Structure formats: structure tokens, C-alpha cells
Amino acid sequence: MTHCIGRRTALGLAGAALAAPALRAQGTAPLRIIVPFAAGGSTDAVARLASPGLTQRLGQPVVVENRSGAAGAIGTEAVAKAAPDGLTWLLTFDSHAVLPALLPNLSFNLMRDLDPVMLIGGAPYVIATRPDRPYRTLADLVVAAKARPEAVSYGSTGNGTIGHLTMMLLQSRTGTRMPHIAYRGGGLAVNDTIAGHVEVMIGSAALLAPHIAGGTLRAIAQFGPARLPALAQVQAAEEAGFAGLQAEAWWGVFAPAGTPAPLVARMNAALRESLSEERARRQMEEAQQARLVLSDPPALQAFLERQVEVWGGVVRANGIRAD
């Protein structure tokens, strides 16, 4: 962290005099926001929500480019190896923090090759079940899992995802063993939970909220720092006695390492203004169930380091590898 901040500080000092020429040199060249996942997911939705406001404020066309594959590593690598000229940016998801542990042979270094721009916000992971299942709280689930080892199954949106790792952490803290069913997408996991093929599932609040509101699923726990307004009756894990057990889907923006500080500051300000607009804020809070943060670059760096430490530790402790 010190090394990265030091580099950005040095760039800020050295680049201050170059700021105006650098911005003029960009002219109306399009900015690329690379989303390292397929179109249609939450990360893609956030990028496309922000892009009109960015175009307006930056005076340049903004193109959202989906480059999916390898749990987000392919698109992330493209940004890590791009020129640090302010024309290429990464908007990514919580799995970003797991990449070094999940894919140890990455051709780039998460900390050295990318500079932080903004933590946009987060939405808690939620455990949900069919309404006819007996689990109403996290304690109920733990008691059942202890009483019937290997019998209380759970689904997640994929092996090595933050949802999967949250359940692994929960099991290690409670001495339980719950079979894991990894799905290649949230919709499949939801369908099988509703059908009763798995006992519970874990997914982001954005994924599960419509089904909870519609009565086809019941939430039994949420993992944010506080209760979501939409799930005001559902305990957070910390309230249930699991201190420090937080897990949020989150969205962050990064730049190629060495991007001049004035360009990073310009993008940060444009993002903050764009996502603070009433329409965009409402969309984030309602469609994504997000708690907006809109941080500065150092706050994202500190947040990322904590995420890498926590979830990387879970991956290594359990020998988890990408599918």
C-alpha cells in the first residue's frame, strides 16, 4: 500500500505541471470502461448506468467493453497492461480481490499493476431458503447443520465466489459441514433453491431481493455492516453473534498503474457526480440494493487490501481453485 500511494504521490507532484497538456491531448478520444464480465450482470449494469454522466462531464465518448473470462482475470489483465493515458479504466466486482489466491499464475499483480480510483459501493450477501423450510435465522441453520452433518446443502453462484467463501468461513467458525453446489450463474442457483434441490443459497441482495419480495424465497441472514432497508426484519450476521463476519458484493474502479494523478482525480470526480444524480442513486439503491460509498482512491486501496487478506486466506486455507 505504501509503495502504491507513494508512486501516485510522486506522479501527482511530477504530473501537476503536465496535467493540462495531458487532458488536452486526450481531446475527444473515447474512454474505454472495461467490465471483465459478460453483459447483463450487475457490474455491466453499473458501468452502463454511469457512462452517460461520464460522457457529459468529461466531454468524451465513453464505451463500455465487456471482456469476460477466467473469473474476471482476462478483462483485468487488459487494463493492467494498457497504457496509463487515462483512456482505459476497469470497473470490476468483488471477485477481483480473490484473483491472486484463486489464480496464482496471473500474469499481472493486482496491487502493483493497477491504481485505485473509487469504491463505488456494496450490497450485502444474503442467505435465503424456501419459505417452507424450517430455517428462519442463521442460528437455525447452524443448529440444523450440526444435527445433520453433510445433509444441509447450499448453493452459490460459483466456486471461489465471495458467497462460497462466506459459507466456508461460516462453517469453519461453527464446526459444521454443508455440501456446496456451485452454479454457473445466479439464476440457476435461485431456480434450484425455489425448487427445493438445495436447502439454502447465498447470493447478493440484488440477486435475491425480487424473489424475497415475491415470496418465493425467505431471507434468513444478511452479511452487510447494517441491515438493508429492504430487509429490515433480517438479522445481520454480526447481530447474530458472528463478529467481523461481513461479506458484500462491491464495485470498484481502477486504472493502469502510473495513470497520472490529475486524470485519476478527474475520473473520480466525474464518477461521484454521475452516481450522485437522483436517478442513478435510486437505481443503485433499488436495482442493486447498494450502499453507495463513492470513495477516494486511498480508501479503495485500503479496502482492497483487507478484502485480499480475508478472502485470500479462506481460499488458501481450504485449497479452493477456480472451476
Instruction: Give pLDDT tens digits for 77-92.
Output: 999 999 999 999 999 9
Q: What is the DSSP letter of 236?
A: B
Q: What is the DSSP letter of 177?
A: -
Instruction: Give pLDDT tens digits for 194-251.
Output: 999 999 999 999 899 999 999 999 999 999 999 999 899 999 999 999 999 999 999 9
How far is the C-alpha of 57 from the C-alpha of 116, rounded, in Å? 20
DSSP symbols for 6-51: HHHHHHHHHHTTTHHHHHHHHTTPPEEEEESS-TTSHHHHHHHHHH
Grid coordinates of 65: 467493453
> Which positions ≥6 away from 158 have C-beta within 8 Å?
71, 164, 182, 183, 184, 185, 323
**Chain position carrying cell 496509463:** 84
Are 219 and 127 in contact, with CB atoms under 8 Å apart?
yes
Grid coordinates of 43: 457490474
Nearest to 134 by CA among 66, 65, 200: 200
124-231 CATH fold: D-Maltodextrin-Binding Protein; domain 2 (3.40.190)
Helix axes 2-15, 261-276, angle to 10 degrees: 100
Are 118 and 272 in contact, with CB atoms under 8 Å apart?
yes
| pTM for the whole structure | 0.87
Are 183 and 155 in contact, with CB atoms under 8 Å apart?
yes
Is residue 64 classed as helix, strand or coil in its secondary structure?
strand
2-122+249-318 and 124-231 have identical folds: yes
Number of other CB atoms surrounding residue 160 within 10 Å: 25
Secondary-structure percent of the chain, ordered helix, strand, coil, rounded to 5: 45, 20, 35
DSSP symbols for 246-309: --EEEEEEEEETT--HHHHHHHHHHHHHHHHSHHHHHHHHHHS--EE----HHHHHHHHHHHHH
Return per-residue pLDDT of the chain as tens, 323 residues. 333 333 443 444 334 334 433 443 355 789 999 999 988 888 999 999 999 999 999 999 999 999 998 889 999 999 999 999 999 999 999 999 999 999 989 999 999 999 999 999 999 999 999 999 999 999 999 999 999 989 999 999 989 999 999 999 999 999 999 999 999 888 899 999 999 999 999 999 989 999 999 999 999 999 999 999 989 999 999 999 999 999 999 999 999 999 999 999 999 999 999 999 999 999 999 989 999 999 999 999 999 999 999 999 999 999 998 76
Query: Pairing mode, if any, of strands 200-204 and 154-156?
Result: parallel
Q: What CATH code is assigned to 2-122+249-318?
A: 3.40.190.150
Nearest to 121 by CA among 310, 314, 286: 286
Q: Where are the domains of the chain?
A: 2-122+249-318, 124-231
Are 180 and 207 in contact, with CB atoms under 8 Å apart?
no
